[in-house]
A and B are shown apart, each in its own frame.
Chain A
């Protein structure tokens, strides 16, 4: 089922690629796009200039899965901060911090990006996520948990116009480590293996003045989601975690 959605997204891009297979437009054409020019972006698979920093700050809302939260249905917000640094023409470092204060997720990774045509761009990368949560509430919680996940990823970006960039990203989530403690008792898991998949579609464009934004949707289908560690999910099945991403590119 999840692959169908990803294939569907790819078909959308194919519908765009078809015209892009024509020869690139001449440089003086009003719709010509110079693939070496970089627009402000975080998700778009094009490396920043070597030594250049890119950052964005915003919020990500995650809808709680009914299997875990039952009657309570919420969109849980997290502060979302991205930081990237160009290394070479193609390689760049990426990091992302998502925090809800009682729990946070920090990821570090590297991407390799290249243009395929004047409008179509590709990147592959691998991120390592470390997350931790502490919940201490009188007569309710004396719990904490930490975990490490590895997330290889692939992104396809399409420059619709000079300023409008669409990125589709696929991620594979694997669990490397998990430790959960309640009071003085703790359990640990190592190498739990494949956890699930996530697909993200993001539009990056100017919003007002020179301020650019990333606006996107991420659909994760995974057995475990770090944000919900304190609900102690025992279902051995993938649950659907839709997310809305909105970041200001700084």
Chain B
């Protein structure tokens, strides 16, 4: 008997496996070359639209939305093509690698799970079943086609992927706001939430604006960080615990790294990144701390002016999620040029004369209140909506001006493919 007991123990030890760690490493390394090669502004504009997926639809659904975006680095602008699918919050990110071809290379990912892979597309036209390379001009009867291949993980793309142009994107104005700078750390994006790299990624995920979480260090430096405490959800393990507001900026910047290795950014660094490196047009500063609002107001005004000087269309609003935040706003000596967003009820929003009302999505479409607020000239956003089928319902049945989501590719898909 004892022999069997010991044997069982040995067998158990051999059976012990590691806990499965969910990972979704990006299987493609971006070159981030400046410029767009043969994809001139008119070509890019012509390419944007809703496409039917004629090959690859079992993986990516029946239609997709195709949209160009860009990132800036000093004088250089790099152009990226995003494709938003309606399946599992899937998206593609492509770049122009060879300036003399109409080929794009990149990767795809489904945000609800860890499925990912590489992809490439070439721009062609079809007429009467005949496929030709696209030369920048379309004549009557031509249909624009994005033809290429995709793969799983790091394999060479070999499974057929073909997108056929169907119609233009929905052009109704709508704010696609990305939560926590672009998305959650837990969705296994290549960068951590509330980081500078995430802010630079946001528009490639379909966002037109972002929401970022603002706290203060012990020595009064405004930083981006969502949670109350240093914890293993957000930072690499280093033994440090407790409220982030009890650590100085020097302690945090030297000893703390976000999950993917980044430093915790300051609010100033974040707003500088938005203004000078991205095409984003909206920033929602979520007041996560309890305390004076003066420093946040100074930065808000500084970067609104900076954006204006650069000719950028950029709204920066201070979000008021709690009564404490409202009290801090009311305590400001001069409230001019301090746009705010109120998350509480309509009465409080009106009393503050906030131009933006942002209720929770779990309250439903609240159609009557939303229409009343819009009739008063206010903008209404809803947050934080991730359930894809509800995103579809809120876009098609709701009256909102925008949605804050961790899944901006899904919001982008449902908005751009919407038909009146």
Q: Among the listed stretches B8-16, B46-54, B65-73, B251-259, which one makes contact with chain A, having 4 or more residues with CB under 8 Å of it?
A: B8-16
Cross-chain contact B364 with A183 (CB below 8 angstroms): yes
Which residues of chain A have C-beta atoms less than 8 A from B11's C-beta?
11
A185-B365 contact in complex given A232-B387, A236-B88, C-beta closer than 8 Å? yes
Bound CA span A12–B186, Å: 35
Cross-chain contact B363 with A139 (CB below 8 angstroms): yes
A37 within 8 A of B: no
A28 within 8 A of B: no
Which residues of chain A have C-beta atoms less than 8 A from B18's C-beta?
1
Cross-chain contact B233 with A71 (CB below 8 angstroms): yes
**Which residues, 199 to 250 on A, are CB-close (under 8 Å) to B?**
230, 232, 234-237
Q: Which residue of chain B is the closest to A187 with respect to CB atoms?
A: B389
Cross-chain contact A71 with B228 (CB below 8 angstroms): yes
B132 within 8 A of A: no
Which residues of chain A have C-beta atoms less than 8 A from B388's C-beta?
234
Cross-chain contact A1 with B359 (CB below 8 angstroms): no
Cross-chain contact B359 with A18 (CB below 8 angstroms): no
- Choose from A67, A185, A230 the contact partner of B364 (Cβ within 8 Å): A185
A71-B4 contact in complex given A182-B390, A185-B365, C-beta closer than 8 Å? no
A1-B20 contact in complex given A139-B344, A182-B361, A234-B387, C-beta closer than 8 Å? yes
B84 within 8 A of A: no
**Which residues, 12 to 28 on A, are CB-close (under 8 Å) to B?**
12, 14-15, 18-19
Which residues of chain A have C-beta atoms less than 8 A from B186's C-beta?
67, 70, 235
Q: Which residue of chain A is the closest to B364 with respect to CB atoms?
A: A183
**Nearest CB of chain A from residue B389's CB, rounded to whole Å:** 5
Q: Mark A5-44, 1 if CB is under 8 A from B, else 0.
A: 0011001101100110000000000000000000000000
Which residues of chain B have C-beta atoms less than 8 A from A236's C-beta?
88, 110, 112-113
**Nearest CB of chain A from residue B16's CB, rounded to whole Å:** 7
**Which residues, 133 to 154 on A, are CB-close (under 8 Å) to B?**
135, 138-143
Give the interface centre of A180, A183, A230 by most chain B CB atoms within 10 Å. Answer: A183
Bound CA span A237–B364, Å: 27
A140-B363 contact in complex given A70-B233, A71-B231, A187-B390, C-beta closer than 8 Å? yes
A4-B17 contact in complex given A66-B233, A236-B113, A237-B22, C-beta closer than 8 Å? yes
Cross-chain contact A185 with B390 (CB below 8 angstroms): yes
- Choose from A1, A11, A138, A143 the contact partner of B8 (Cβ within 8 Å): A11
Count, chain B residues at interface, CB 8 A? 47
**Nearest CB of chain B from residue A32's CB, rounded to whole Å:** 18
**Nearest CB of chain A from residue B60's CB, rounded to whole Å:** 15
Cross-chain contact B363 with A141 (CB below 8 angstroms): yes
Cross-chain contact A183 with B363 (CB below 8 angstroms): yes
Bound CA span A182–B363, Å: 6
**Nearest CB of chain B from residue A183's CB, rounded to whole Å:** 1
Cross-chain contact A15 with B5 (CB below 8 angstroms): yes
Cross-chain contact B8 with A237 (CB below 8 angstroms): no
Cross-chain contact A1 with B4 (CB below 8 angstroms): no
Q: Which residue of chain A is the closest to B361 with respect to CB atoms?
A: A182
Cross-chain contact B393 with A187 (CB below 8 angstroms): yes
Which residues of chain A have C-beta atoms less than 8 A from B294's C-beta?
none
**Nearest CB of chain A from residue B413's CB, rounded to whole Å:** 15
Cross-chain contact B8 with A15 (CB below 8 angstroms): yes
Q: Mark B11-34, 1 if CB is under 8 A from A, else 0.
A: 110011111101000000000000
B250 within 8 A of A: no
Cross-chain contact B386 with A232 (CB below 8 angstroms): yes
A8-B15 contact in complex given A19-B1, A71-B228, A185-B397, C-beta closer than 8 Å? yes
Q: Which residue of chain B is the closest to A15 with respect to CB atoms?
A: B8
**Nearest CB of chain B from residue A215's CB, rounded to whole Å:** 22
- Choose from B8, B19, B344, B365 the contact partner of A183 (Cβ within 8 Å): B365
A14-B233 contact in complex given A141-B362, A234-B407, C-beta closer than 8 Å? no
Bound CA span A39–B397, Å: 59
Bound CA span A13–B397, Å: 56
B156 within 8 A of A: no
Bound CA span A105–B138, Å: 60
Which residues of chain B have C-beta atoms less than 8 A from A185's C-beta?
364-365, 390, 393-394, 397-398
Bound CA span A113–B364, Å: 48
Which residues of chain B have C-beta atoms less than 8 A from A70's C-beta?
186, 227, 233
**Nearest CB of chain B from residue A21's CB, rounded to whole Å:** 10
**Which residues, 160 to 188 on A, are CB-close (under 8 Å) to B?**
180, 182-185, 187
- Choose from B12, B113, B394 the contact partner of A11 (Cβ within 8 Å): B12
Cross-chain contact A237 with B229 (CB below 8 angstroms): no
Bound CA span A4–B14, Å: 10
B269 within 8 A of A: no
Bound CA span A88–B71, Å: 73
**Which residues, 85 to 113 on A, are CB-close (under 8 Å) to B?**
none
Of the A-B pairs whose beta carbons lie under 8 Å apart in the complex, a sample of 8, sorted by A's number, is: A12-B12, A15-B8, A71-B229, A139-B345, A184-B365, A185-B397, A235-B113, A236-B88
Q: Which 9 A-B pairs have the closest CB atoms?
A: A183-B364, A236-B112, A236-B113, A71-B227, A15-B8, A182-B364, A187-B389, A185-B393, A234-B386
